[in-house]
Structure 1
Amino acid sequence: MEQMKNNASRCTLIGDIVGSRGSVDRADLHRAVEAALRQVDDAVPSLTGLRVTVGDEFQGSYATLGEALDAGLRVRLALLPDVDTRIGVGRGSVTTLDPERGIEDGPGWWAARAAVEAAEEAAAKPATRHLRTALRVDASEDDSAVDAVNAALLCRDHLVGSCSERSIRLLRGLMEPHTTQGDLATLEGISPSAVSQRVRADGLGAVLAAHDLLRALP
């Protein structure tokens, strides 16, 4: 085995598929996830490649928290409404045990694992059933903003989880640069005013504003 590589503090993203065992066609699900990961990795390049690791899980590493949260939301929107994902982000150092197979370990990896588990646990409670994203940091990292970030993610995910299929498509479109509400109105076959109403009524504007603030985090 090649010598293990130590990576300085960074943000590790671990994601999994919600309810994947109930999928009728798991091969088709796997192809959809891989396509979404390629699309997101082009938009928000990761340090190690956003990739399927084992089973229904995927993983990527990012230099900043903002990039990891940006990628996580994009993956979710790329797969909704047919497939939902759960995202855990952990900050801390990571050791690459096997570069070829992408096997990693270390405080940052375990923090991301804990974040996935925290999101799953919260989603089992009625009041926080829409939560799909959580952040944890290694004990050696500054954790002063963790609670604030998780509070923002809780509110953002509630809005996303409450969206109709059309609103999900609109939100996905509005996250792309140079896409206007007029463009989306044409694609949806509705009026620009109808798009504007949905942006206001379904909180899409709030999701986008929160996303802009979160993805700017260092």
Structure 2
Amino acid sequence: MEPVATVIGDLVGSRAASDRAKVHEAFADAIDEINREWDPVDPLRITVGDEYQGAFETVGAAIRATFRLRIALDPVVGVRHGISWGATRVLRDDPRVEDGPGWWSARAAIEAAEKAENKAASRSVRTWYQPVEEAGGPDPAAVNAALIARDELFHRLDRSSVSVLSGMLSGMSQKAIAAELDITPSAVSQRIRRDGIAVIVRADELLGEIR
């Protein structure tokens, strides 16, 4: 079995939402959008309750795709992710049931992310990476160091700055972002500099190069 980048995601605080139907509609729409744009090797699918899972060809693709899912859901609900690198196997096609160390480690990773959230020093963490030990894969210390820093910067953004970030990650010009948000290009530029948005974008590019 060839290793893949497995992902398990879980909505944060969705049970306290006043409109659960709206949350799950946004959740399903975001999952569909990521599947269209990122073509995962194992399409993302909602499993039980507020969880979803899927797999990508590389850890970098998994990191970038899950970050975009988080951004898409940000106006509605939070989401945390566990990412791993390891082998998986299909036990049944219909309904689809999968197993294997890649999934076990992704589960351990999302549990580590949740544990980090409960500590004051790392409360902004929403993504953790834990590869299967014998599968090789990128160094978890280096990857998690970058994820911790990225998540902290993202945590500090207000709603307008998240929209600016989303536009930049989509390849929009600052002028186009300003027009969409009905603010001046100067205001967009100020947010990019003040809020570290350019740093987040560059980190996203470099994280995407991880195999």
Residue in 1 that maps onto 2:155: 161
Q: CA deviation at 1:70?
A: 0.9
Q: 2:185 aligns with which of 179, 183, 192?
A: 192
What corresponds to 1:4 in structure 2? Answer: none
Residue of structure 1 in register with 2:49 after alignment: 55
Counterpart residue type for residue 192 of structure 1: P
Q: Give the aligned residue type for 1:197.
A: Q
Large movers: runs of 4+ above 4 Å: none
Tell me, in whole angstroms, the C-alpha distance in 1 between the residues paired with 2:20 and 2:41.
28
Which secondary structure does the structure 2 equivalent of 1:51 belong to?
A: strand
Aligned-partner SS, 2:43: coil
AA aligned to 1:214 is L
**Equivalent pair of 1:44/1:70 in contact (CA under 8 Å):** no
Unaligned runs of 5+ in 1: 1-6
Instruction: Find 1:115's aligned residue among 109, 114, 124.
Output: 109
- Provide the TM-score with structure 2 as the length reference: 0.96
Q: Which runs of 5+ in 2 are unaligned?
A: none
| Equivalent pair of 1:137/1:143 in contact (CA under 8 Å) | yes
Q: Partner of 1:140: helix, strand, or coil? A: helix
Q: Which residue in 1 is equivalent to 2:37?
A: 43
**Deviation at 1:144?**
6.0
Read off the aligned partner of 1:167 and give its amino acid letter.
S
Identity %: 41
Distance 2:127 2:101 in 1: 19
Q: Does residue 98 of structure 1 match 2:56?
A: no
AA aligned opposite 1:208: V
Q: Does 1:64 align with 2:25?
A: no
Match of 2:15 among 21, 25, 43: 21
Alpha-carbon distance in structure 2 between the residues aligned to 1:193 and 1:13: 38
Counterpart of 2:170 in structure 1 is: 176
TM-score, structure 1 normalization: 0.93
Q: Distance in 1 between matches of 2:68 and 2:138?
A: 26
Aligned residue pairs, count:
211
Residues 153, 200 of structure 2: 8 Å contact kept: yes
The correspondence for 2:144, drawn from 132, 145, 150, is: 150
Larger relative helix fraction: 2
**What are the Cα deviations for residues 89-142 of structure 1, in whole angstroms up to 9, with x where unaligned?**
011001112223332111000110011000000011111111000000112122
Cα-to-partner distance string for 1:46-90 (whole Å, 9 max, x where unaligned):
112111111100111111011110111010000103211001101
Deviations 1:164-207 (A, max 9, x none): 00001111111113x11100101111111110110111111010
> For the Cα contact (< 8 Å) 2:150–2:200, is it kept in 1?
yes
Contact 2:60 2:210 in 1 (8 A): yes
Instruction: Select 2:208's aligned residue among 183, 192, 215.
Output: 215
Superposition CA RMSD, Å: 1.2
